[in-house]
Structure 1
Amino acid sequence: MSSVYLITGVMAAGKSTVAQALAERLPTAAHVRGDAFRKAIVSGRAEPVPGDVEGEAQRLLRYRIAAGVADQYAAAGITAVVQDVIIGPELADVVEVVRTRPLYVVVLAPHPEAVAEREEARVKTGYGAWTIADLDGALRHETPRIGLWLDTSRMTPAETVDAILAGRAEAEV
């Protein structure tokens, strides 16, 4: 049975790595990278920075496109593993937009110190307009407690995938 996994968390939480590893572990799966839809806007792209109305509108569009792609994969019998930074009240909105069930929501929530270490080790940098503390605060205080929340501070990607697969019942929305 095809399904959708939605992997979210702050930047440098390990979403891309975990989503890829999860997709590789499933029998037939696609890795849907939300950021690809942001990058697809060639001209007129507005970055999602606080207070930028167009950037916020494009971010919400990106979520809707990713949800639609996930539903299309699932309709074709392919499990979709979607990963993006979807925190705050928008997480509940995205859950409503995805039509496919079962839908598994997984929130990667490593401690800010672990995120800082990971961010420092990455080639790309995600933080600028927001700080790690800003996004971590939004994750922990503004994001609805739906799905499976994992403190992945000391977990490897393989251990995280194991926890996701073992915690499917809790992750299902």
Structure 2
Amino acid sequence: MTSPRPFIITGAMAAGKSTTAESLARRLDPSVHLRGDVFRKMIVNGAAPMGPELSVEALRQLALRRRLACDAAQAYVEAGFSVVYQDILIGDALQEVAERLRHLSPAIVVLAPAPEVLAERDEARSKTGYGPHFPPTILTSALKNETPRLGLWIDNADLTVDEVVDRILAEFAGSAQPRTT
């Protein structure tokens, strides 16, 4: 049996992070799907607004969220679980998380469909994040121009979830224990 390790799934809003992460976690045994936004949702009072312009407090809370997620991922890996950590990690945030988890050899996956695909997917969701003052081009531009080219970058616009997960597992073969069915 191979040692468990963390998988980091990132991309813009509506890139398919949650769906891909859940599907990948279901194909690993034992596994955890760690959603970074759960740490923001735990804040009862004082959560800073998130959007295209971030306040100093929002940046502080995002840094805390990443630190807590990395601590949780490490604890689960040390307990023998493969962890699929999913969050919006753009720019220096991806490098920071990769460094925090470096000793666990994280498998990094960036889902990077075109802005038009993100807009279409966002409109079809019950929770929308984009709008006139926050178009998908803001995040796709930051991914393209400010995010280090770490790991596997996938334009998943024309791929099924299973095809994306197959590609991830093929890229990082032997890095976690696939579930046998």
TM-score tier, shorter chain, comes to: over 0.9
Higher mean C-alpha deviation, range 1-10 or range 89-98: 89-98
- What is the CA deviation profile of residues 66-115 of structure 1, one whole-angstrom value per residue up to 9, with x for unaligned ones? 11100000000001100000001221111111255231000000111111
Gaps of 5+ in 2: 176-181
Q: Percent identity?
A: 49
Aligned to 2:113, the other structure's residue is in SS state coil
Residues 104-119 of structure 1: pairs in structure 2 closer than 5 A: 104-119=107-122
1:60 paired residue number = 63
* Shift of residue 51, structure 1, vs aligned partner: 3.7
- Please say if residues 9 and 85 of structure 1, whose CA atoms lie closer than 8 Å, have aligned partners that are also in contact: yes
Distance of 1:149 and 1:130 partners within structure 2:
23
Q: How many residues align?
A: 170
TM-score with structure 2 setting the length: 0.90
TM-score with structure 1 setting the length: 0.94
What value does the CA root-mean-square deviation take over the aligned residues? 1.5
Q: 1:152 aligns with which of 151, 156, 171?
A: 156
- What is the CA deviation profile of residues 108-149 of structure 1, one whole-angstrom value per residue up to 9, with x for unaligned ones? 001111111111110001225632010100001100001000
Residues 41-120 of structure 1: pairs in structure 2 closer than 5 A: 41-49=43-51, 50-120=53-123
Q: Hey, which bits of structure 1, 4+ residues long, moved more than 2 A?
A: 127-130
Gaps of 5+ in 1: none
Distance of 1:20 and 1:148 partners within structure 2:
18
Higher mean C-alpha deviation, range 31-40 or range 127-136: 127-136
Question: Which has the bigger relative contact order, CA under 8 A and spacing at least 6?
Answer: 2
